[in-house]
Chain A
Amino acid sequence: EAQVTQNPRYLITVTGKKLTVTCSQNMNHEYMSWYRQDPGLGLRQIYYSMNVEVTDKGDVPEGYKVSRKEKRNFPLILESPSPNQTSLYFCASRAWTGAEGGYTFGSGTRLTVV
């Protein structure tokens, strides 16, 4: 089944404790992206990657890191989480060309930083 898999689904952590949210896709997509979604603010892009070793900042990159060492994986790293990073996070992937160029989203990770 074609899908984007992100883990964990739920995470509660404490301020300052480094964490990684994993994301993997099995569709051989070139583009991958991370979004956060907060009530009333819609989807805000954190980082995106156009291919292996190519990443770029989105709208809200502060406090986050990413890496794209393999085409299928795009982990999101919070080096020192803070309460304002409490949010619902989505990973997504899409093909660069072709008729179906929209993003396919993972199921989401609900992060709470206390």
Chain B
Amino acid sequence: QKEVEQNSGPLSVPEGAIASLNCTYSDRGSQSFFWYRQYSGKSPELIMSIYSNGDKEDGRFTAQLNKASQYVSLLIRDSQPSDSATYLCAADPRANNNDMRFGAGTRLTVKP
């Protein structure tokens, strides 16, 4: 079982819609969770971090965390073609000196 799992997609949404990206993790000791956006050929860029159960909003982005279900999600409201990218989910165990684990990413396409 992969430690951090994401649906590889591609996920396609029309411009202006809400894009919903999901991620599950296997290490119950994970404390912090991150969403990265990566454009083709570019480096991953951190867009959201979340540490507590519930929702965290930043502009058009909302991260949701449910530790009981070991589930993290990212909602992108009013999706724009510029949001088309691969989104990586990461979980940080912060225990036993283990390092952050990344999912394989979900490719999102926003169609004009």
Contact = CB atoms under 8 A, between A and B. Distances in A.
Interface residues of A, number: 23
Contacts of A74: none
Contacts, number: 52
Contact of A107 (B43, B49, B103): B43
Interface stretch (A14-22, A40-48, A64-72): A40-48
Give the interface size class of chain B.
Answer: 20 to 34
Instruction: Decide if the interface of chain A is mainly helix, strand, loop or mixed.
Output: strand
A63 interface: no
Interface string A81-94: 00000001010001
Interface in B66-103: 88, 90, 92, 97, 99-100, 102-103
A6 to B, nearest CB: 9
A106 B104 CA distance: 19
A99 interface: yes
B99 A33 contact: yes
A95 B102 CA distance: 17
A106 B43 contact: yes
A103 B41 CA distance: 18
